[in-house]
Structures are given as C-alpha cells and as structure tokens.
Amino acid sequence: SGKWAMAEAILRELEEKCATPTAKLRRVADAMTVEMHAGLAIEGGSKLKMLISYVDNLPTGFGALECWLRVMVKKFDVLSDYAFCSRFRKIGFFILNEKGLFYALDLGGTNFRVMRVQLGGKDNVIKQEFDEVSIPPQLMTSSCNELFDFIAEALAKFVASEGDDFHLPPGRQRELGFTFSFPVRQLSLASGTLINWTKGFLIEDAIGQDVVGELTKAMERVGLDMRVTALVNDTVGTLAGGRYSNPDVVAAVILGTGTNAAYVERAHAIPKWQGLLPKSGEMVINMEWGNFRSSHLPLTVYDYTLDAESLNPGDQIFEKLISGMYLGEIVRIVLCTMAEKASFFGDTIPPKLSIPFILRTPDMSAMHHDTSPDLKVVGSKLKDILEVPNSCLTMRKIVVAICDIVATRGARLSAAGIVGILTKLERDAPKEGEKQQRSVIALDGGLFEHYTKFRECMKATVDELLGEVSDSVVIEHSNDGSGIGAALLAASHSQYL
Ligand code: ADP
Ligand code: MG
C-alpha cells in the first residue's frame, strides 16, 4: 500500500547501491592484489600496510613423521571431541621437541582472553585452560597505563590460579605469547610499536609505544614475573595454529569485531624487507586488510555517515563494510533514514534508534535467520532493542531485507579479498601442465563462526569467483587458532631453547 511505498523505494535504492555482481567483485579482488604489491614494495606504498610479522619458521612437510602423527591423531579422534583433537593436532609437532608451560594473552576486540597451555611432559599430557574477561568500555578510550594495568592484573590473577597439574621447570620464568590485534610495526618477533588503534579503541598515549614494553612494565607494577617471547597479530596466530594442523594452510582471515588477513609470502617477493632473507625463504605478512580502500567498493550514503561518526574517520573502510562491529550499525543507520523519510515506525521516531551501536550484529543475525512465518524474532528484537511495541509483518520483512542486503555485501566483499590473496599467490587459476595445489584458508572470528548466512554466502562467493579452481580451495574454521598459535610461537621462541 501507499504507506510503505517510500520505505520500499529506500530499500530498492539500498539494494542497488550495495550490489556486488561478479564483475565488480573481480575488480575488487584485482585491486586487492595490486595494493598488496604496492604495500610490499615500499613502506607506506599502499593503504594496505602489509606488515612484516617476523614469523618465518612455519613448519612444512613432515613426511613419514607427519603420517605417523596423523594416524595417531585419527585413532584419538574416535575417542574424543573434534575440538580437542584439532588442538592436539596443532600441538602434536611440538610434543616432539618442546615441552613446558606457556601462557597466551589475546587482546583485540571486546573481550580479552588469558590462556595457559602445558606442552609435552613425561606422558605427553597436554592441558589447556583459559579465562575470558570483557574489557570495560571506558578502558578502550582511557590511557595506556590504565589499559595495561587492567590486563596485567587479570593475567596475574589467572597465573595465581595455576594448579599443580601445570609444571614450570624450576628456575624458569613464565613465558607469554601476546596476541595483539591492532596494527603494529614489529621490530622483532617480541617487540613492536603501535601504529594506530581500530575497532572502537582510541588511547592516544599508547600510539608509537612498544606494546610489549608497556605490558612488561605493567606486569612489573603488579608484581608478575613473566616474559613476552612473541608478539603476534591474531591473523598471524591463526595462520601459525592452522599450519601446524594442516600444511596446506596458506592464509588466515579473521571475521570478528574487525577483519584482517595474513598469509605466507615468499621472502624475495618483499622488496621493502631490508634484513637478511630468512632461511625458510618465507615470511608471514599481516596485511591489515581492514584498511583496504578502492573506488570499486560499493559505498553508500549510510557508509559515509557511519565513517564520519566513527573514532577513525577515513580509515578501515573495508572493515567498516564487513565486520561484526559495524554490520548492525549500518542497519541502524538505514532504519534511521527510513524512520525520518518514510515514517517507517509511525509519526514519531523511536528514541532508542538514535543511539549509535544499539543494534548489535548478533541481533541483526538473529533477525536475519528468523524463519517463523510471522517473523516473531524480528518483532521481539524491535520491541526489546528499539522499543517499537507493535510491528506489522510488512515492517518486519523490510527489516530482514535490510539485514540481507548489508550482510550479503559484506560476505561477498570478504570473498573478493580472499580471492585477491589467492591471485597474489598465483593460486587462483589452474597452472598449465601442473596438478592443482590445494590451498587452505584458516578462518576465525565470531562473525564467521556464528553468522551462518554470512559464512555460507562468503564461501559460495569464493567458489563463484574461482570457478573450476574452487575444488582445490578450502575454507577451514580454525577454532581458537590465534590463542594456541601465540602459545606455540612463544614456545618456539623460548629464551630457554
Ligand atoms: P574479537 O574479534 O573481538 O576478537 P570474536 O572473534 O569473538 O572477538 O568476535 C566477536 C564479534 O563477532 C562480535 O563483536 C560480533 O560482532 C560478532 N558476533 C558474535 N556473535 C555473533 C552472532 N551470533 N551473529 C553475528 N555476529 C556475531
Ligand atoms: Mg579475536
């Protein structure tokens, strides 16, 4: 009826502006590849920072030894749940040459996690414990000391709860792998300065500081004796964790609060690298792809509004189209326009609708997945979050359509990013006269894990863009790979090795 005509028009325009036909995605993927080259060529050569991670010793091909381990693990699989087995697999290679107790700390979004892992031991028993603490929102815009004191205190509390079943050899200092998922210019594997904040964090006095130094000082302030032996981005941790379990893993992508990717580059393909070439001939690159930008990205007036109102206007444009922190917020901004221009919610605009970030991506996802005939999940979300008491089916259907358009665009763009990486690695097309290599991409993050329609659309789009090569490309969920990966990197760079 006439009442909804204006809303329908806004919806159709949104759909048109957010469209991502195959040809457009190919241009996005190609632009990603071009920017990767530019970022590797010289420092500051691209919006893609293409940061050198100092991780150059990812294990490859274990031959007979690996086969034996895989058989052992397979036997184990029958007895235990998959999650534990995938962890066991990751740690498997270390059992042979590394043992001991290692800690990991993961700071990168809304929560931070502390973890301890016991590797090896007399009977090869592996134990793992973790604790998750949500970061008080006011700390995200506080001071460097306040943030790191909070982290160090939580870590000290966790260390104090260490049971007798974890063993630190006498005379040894506890060692930590620090997963810090913000852009860092690394000076070595265990040090690096913060370039800028993303994802709702803004702590001015931390920018330019060595985050390992800051954490170390905070640990001293709370009387915790621990050494950081590896500083890793979550993408790099996920890649390291993924590689131990599967030698075909070539890249890792995070789709969580933010989004980012890392991949294994040939060291000689990094012109800006000034140091000695690593023995392995490889180097893991943290792309910081959230900051990717291209004229081919389908940006709308809603995206410009979101960007302008963000803590980092002009930055992280790819991330703002794709990741969990922003998808729900885009939907809210579209609804604001519908409320203003089409009286979508009636004569008055619901006051709650004007609160930034009130509509979270998990709520958007719940509405998007509503299969009930009267869309009752949508109805109750509108009631509970926006205080819209009575919503008719037409209104609910339009809300679902907005969620679908916004999620589909994000999922398809992330697929184009993945294809851009595969193109850079020359794994996007069949090679003449050669058997197609398998390429595995390790994926992690709450958005990928929980937003089923997003995940499925992303996977289908990767296949769509790759055509026949899609048979040899696998998207694999790497559960808590970043935490385990950081602990493994801490272990492999222990001061006692
Ligand atoms: P982080 O990225 O902060 O390290 P996670 O990987 O756990 O943390 O991702 C958390 C993000 O995942 C949340 O900010 C949210 O945007 C998204 N998310 C969590 N649960 C869901 C869900 N059910 N549906 C959609 N997105 C979700
Ligand atoms: Mg994370």
Q: What is the pLDDT of residue 38?
A: 98
Cα 306 to Cα 332: distance, rounded to the nearest angstrom:
10
Q: Which ligand is nearest to the CA of 449?
A: 1
CA 424 to centroid of chain Cα atoms: 20
Mean pLDDT of 402-424: 98
Distance 331 CA to ligand 1 centre (A): 16
Q: How many residues does the chain have?
A: 497
Are 114 and 102 contacting, i.e. CB atoms less than 8 angstroms apart? no
Q: Show Cβ contacts of residue 147 under 8 Å, excluding neighbours closer than 6 positions.
A: 139, 140, 203, 206
What are the catalytic residues?
113, 181, 234
In sign, the C-alpha dihedral spanning 226, 227, 232, 233 is positive
Which of 201, 257, 359 gets mutated to test ligand 1 (max ligand atoms within 8 A of its CB)?
257
Q: What is the pLDDT of residues 331-360, one digit of tens each?
A: 999 999 999 999 999 999 999 999 999 999
Are 140 and 201 contacting, i.e. CB atoms less than 8 angstroms apart? yes
Instruction: Say if ligand 1 is within 6 A of residue 446 CB.
Output: yes
The yes-or-no verdict on residue 122 having pLDDT over 70 is: no
Mean per-residue pLDDT of the chain: 89
Report which of 228, 225, 198, 224 is spatially closest to residue 210, judged by C-alpha positions.
228
Beta bridge partners of 129: 116
Q: What is the pLDDT of residue 86?
A: 41
The yes-or-no verdict on residue 72 having pLDDT over 70 is: no
